[in-house]
Amino acid sequence: MTTEDCKKAVLDIIADIAPDEDLSNVKSDVRLRDQLQLDSMDFLDIVMELRKRHGIEVPEADYLRLASLDSCAEYLTPKFNALSAKS
Amino acid sequence: MNSGSKYDVAIIGAGLSGLAAGIRLAHFGKRVCIFERHNAVGGLNGFYSIGGRKYDVGLHAVTNYVPPGVKGTPLGKILRQLRIDREEFQLCPQKGSRVSFGPAGERTLRFTNDVAVLESEVDRLFGSQVDGFRRLADAVRAVPLSGDAALGSARAFVGTFIGDPVLVNMLLCPLMFYGSAREDDMDAGQFAIMFRALYLEGFARPLEGVRVMMRVLLEKFRQAGGERRMKCGVRELRVEGGRVTGLVLDSGEEVAADQVLSTIGLAETGALRGIPPDSRPRLGYVETISVLNRQPSELGWGEDTIVFFNEGERFEYRNPSGQVDTRSGIICFPNNFEYGEGRLLPEGVFRVTCLAGYGAWVGLPEERYRSDKLRVFDEVQNSALRFLPAPPEPGALAAATVATDMFTPTTVERYTGHLRGAIYGSPVKCPDGRTELSNLFLCGTDQGMLGIVGAMLSGISIANQHILRS
């Protein structure tokens, strides 16, 4: 999986949990919270959906690494790849 | 223990908070079962049928209504968290409501889903107080939605912004009526939640009532894989080593669950472990329902959605020692929402709610209970009529009435299990949902969030905080 695929996977989740947000112009390097109306409940859902859909665990101490799409990609891409290597 | 079922989470009560929590937990893969003693879902916001007519139990209006596009509100949060599309709830905004004080409602503050209307009413009636009102509204906006901020007494809090005691009482009256479990005052944090829910946001209703919303929740819960057992109350919690180890059902069957969410109330949950209930005052209500063969507008009552009335200048919110306190109350016309062109309720409905003393209703012989209900029905309705425009001719209401129903605190207790029929539960709340048992949590009425949206948000946040997060 590339970092772009990873960003898309995160955006797909956000599109489902916050269908009232416009995701067409989300900037990769800006905190999601600063460009979208997402609160801590929504971030919990991103984490829960990552586990449910992709089997990826994000411990609470690492939640901050989901701040922007870039940081998500940096943090999650190796996890995605480690999982696909296993299967 | 027999071979019975084992769940990740057992939820006691299929009201709005239990269903909302259940949807969250099932969606994220928990094996969850909701146990409900009654044969219908909804709890304090259920519905029932008599004589082919459908009635809502608790719902006058859904509070916390905001139009599409307004973000960062409780309604938006529950829709997202439950993956519900706004349209599914079919919410239609109110026409307009009012608070009317004085023997015949001489002082009236109108309010709608646009707070500017209330602000201009405060300006019209109380002139110099309007700046204080604006500051109060700003202070409420700054209170976090979680509502667990300890702010003390609502009367004291409002008093720091508004000097006129009549205005303080007029603003408090609807908020207390729609959610205070405390006599004569409310917790300031709850005041902020209610001020937002009623004045900054507003009222709405689906044309077909609360059952529209219940259907959506039930379908989501089913799709997520949740289980539901009806007519299947929990009569005992088995406790060992500071944990719930099992639930004993009314049938005697035992089930096990790693975690338990109870929506039935603080004292009511304690009773499942043999803890006697506290004797703190509980607030009960009577409600009269008149079904009319025409729209309320034909009797001159087409403009008001909800009317909060009080005959004096000070609003006293206490458990009456007698059967009912008709000095104040709530009138609701479910017909008077903006359902859209040509969409009308098939019949008119006129509901009046007043505070009622549980002690004066419980234990009455059947015949006496029935005759008292008839008498109190007239007292309640006649009190409310003082605050409505006179119908076109005398006797028009009686002539239009095709059916009536009424509930008392004992009715509420019988069908919902809430101690002394207290629809807002215990005066002491449990905002973090924790109990002294490590795997038992409370949500719903006694967690402290209010209204239909608040109940769902309560179930969601307790499920998130204590079960999904850990």
Q: What is the CATH number of the domain that holds A44?
A: 1.10.1200.10
Same structural domain for residues B374 and B449? no
Q: Please indicate whether, in this complex, the C-beta atoms of B80 and A42 are within 8 angstroms of each other.
A: yes
Supply the pTM of this predicted model. 0.94
**E strands in B210-283:** 227-229, 234-240, 243-249, 254-262
Q: Residue B464: inside a domain, yes or no? A: yes
pLDDT along chain B (470 residues), means of 10: 75 97 97 96 88 86 94 93 96 98 94 98 96 97 71 91 97 96 90 95 96 96 97 97 97 97 96 93 95 97 98 95 97 98 95 97 97 98 97 93 96 91 90 96 91 95 93
* Residues of chain B above pLDDT 70, percent: 98
Q: Do B298 and B183 fall into the same domain?
A: yes
Tell me the three state secondary structure of residue B36. Answer: coil
Low-confidence spans in chain A with pLDDT less than 70: none
Domain boundary among B382, B397, B416: B416
Q: Which of A39, A2, A1, A36 is nearest to A21 (CA)?
A: A36
Question: What pLDDT does A5 receive?
Answer: 95
The domain spanning residue B445 has which CATH number? 3.50.50.60
Residue B72 identity: G
For helices B74-81 and B16-27, angle between their N-to-C axes, nearest 10 degrees:
40
- The number of distinct structural domains making up chain A is 1
CA B280 distance to own-chain centroid:
20
Listed by number, the residues of chain B in 75-114 with a beta carbon closer than 8 Å to a beta carbon of chain A are 76-77, 79-81, 83, 85-86
First to last CA, chain A: 14
Say what the pLDDT of residue B150 is.
64
Put simply, the answer to whether A45 touches B469 (Cβ < 8 Å) is: no
Between CA B410 and CA B372 the distance in angstroms is: 13
Query: Do residues B455 and B406 both lie within one domain?
Result: no
Q: Which domain holds residue B367?
A: 92-207+281-416
Q: Assess whether B199 and B235 both reside in one domain.
A: no
> Is B15 a member of any domain?
yes
Average pLDDT of chain A, as a whole number = 93
Instruction: Show which of B379, B394, B416 is a domain's final residue.
Output: B416
Name the residue range of residue A14's domain. Answer: 3-86
Is residue B16 within 8 Å of residue B456, measured between CB atoms?
yes
C-alpha–C-alpha distance, residues B224 and B30, integer Å: 10
Q: Please report the pLDDT score of residue B143 as a whole number.
A: 86
**In terms of domains, do B138 and B197 share one?**
yes
Q: Domain check: are B247 and B370 in the same one?
A: no
B216 and B275 assigned to the same domain: yes
**Which residues from chain A sit within 8 angstroms of residue B76, using beta carbons?**
20
Same domain, B137 and B49: no
Residues in chain A: 87
Query: pLDDT digits over A12-28, tens only?
Result: 999 999 998 999 999 99
* B77–A52 CB contact, under 8 Å: no
Q: Are residues B180 and B247 in the same domain?
A: no
- Which chain B residue lies closest to A39 (C-alpha atoms)? B72
Model pLDDT, residue A75: 97
Which residues from chain A sit within 8 angstroms of residue B463, using beta carbons?
none
Residues B333 and B292 in one domain: yes
Residue B64 belongs to some domain of the structure: no
Q: How far apart are CA B244 and CA B118, in angstroms?
A: 49
Residues in A touching B73 (Cβ below 8 Å): none
Q: For residue B68, tell me if it sits in a domain.
A: no
Interface test with A, best of B23, B79, B80 (most A CBs within 10 A): B80
Residue B127 lies in a domain: yes
Domain boundary among B377, B394, B416: B416
Whether residue B462 lies inside any domain: the answer is yes
Q: What is the CATH number of the domain that holds B193?
A: 3.90.660
Q: Are both B158 and B100 inside the same structural domain?
A: yes
- Residue B29: inside a domain, yes or no? yes
> Domain count of chain B?
2
Interchain contact, B464 vs A41, CB within 8 Å: yes
Classify residue B75: in a domain, yes or no. Answer: no
